[in-house]
Homo-oligomer: A and B are copies of this chain.
Amino acid sequence: MAKEANHPVRTTEKSLALIERLREADGARIRDLVGVAELSKGAVHNHLSTLREHGYVTKEGEEYRLSLQFLTLGGYTRGRTPLYRYGRSKADQLAADTGMLTNLVTEENGRGVYLYQARGDYAVNLDTHVGYRIRLHYTGVGKAILAYLDPERVDEIVDEWGLPMETENTITDRGELHAELDRIRARGYATDHEERTEGLACIAAPIRLDDEILGAISISAPTQRLGNEGFDEEIVGEVESTANELALDLKYRYDG
């Protein structure tokens, strides 16, 4: 996130805290929200009524929930993202060709954000989904992105988010991470061999435009489907060529 604002608008922060709480709690009643941001019952009521009037919150009976307005704004924002605009059909194609789950991920504030997923005929079901935010250090897409960020930025991100261990294969050492990023740059693609989820592997390729890293595209599958020792050359090739096509499309696109 950004450095602290000099003159934060505290009232807005209170509304945002309520929104965050509604998300965590998956909807809540007023009494459950008393105390959030140190707000009283009446104050919670005022904030929720305001958010509701503007369509950001719905009320069913006594229960307040986040509305689909976030999906509307999010869909709009995603639609303005070149990586999504040009990458969606490529991801569909890669999913159809390989039968696997393909992902389109970009970076925001030091984490990955899933922009799109396409499901092939044999796609695995995971906890990830559009909008989902994920640590960069233990995913193929994440490492593919990190490899092409400035090293200082990588360190900033590690400082902020750490290198939490998820499986025994997770990279938890900063030096080891940088070495891995060197390898990724050298060969042009990233892999994830059960670094976040046991039994799951990924092959990911960065998508760059004029030295700027826009994100990455990947396929995820059970480890054995991607080649148990060493990754399957053919599948790696498919991911790489899809990424190359996408990068070219982005470079020579018509609109701004």
Contact = CB atoms under 8 A, between A and B. Distances in A.
Given A1-B53, A7-B46, A77 B73 contact: no
B47 A12 contact: yes
A71 interface: yes
Interface string A70-90: 111111111111000000000
A159 interface: no
Interface stretch (A54-62, A136-144, A229-237, A243-251): A54-62
Given A1-B55, A70-B73, A133-B72, A49 B79 contact: no
A81 to B, nearest CB: 8
A112 to B, nearest CB: 10
Given A5-B49, A49-B2, A23 B73 contact: yes
Given A12-B12, A49-B6, A1 B73 contact: no
A49 B77 CA distance: 19
Contact of A73 (B5, B74, B79, B119): B74
A197 to B, nearest CB: 18
Nearest to A119: B92
Contacts of A70: 70-71, 73-74, 76-77
Interface in A5-36: 5-9, 11-16, 19, 23, 26
Contacts of A130: 71, 75, 78, 130
B68 A108 contact: yes
Contacts of A114: 75
A248 to B, nearest CB: 21
Contacts of A9: 11, 15, 46-47, 50
Contacts of A71: 70-71, 74-75, 77-78, 113, 115, 130-131
B12 A52 contact: no
Nearest to A76: B23
Interface in A178-194: none
Given A1-B53, A6-B49, A69-B108, 4 more contacts: A19-B73, A55-B108, A70-B74, A71-B115
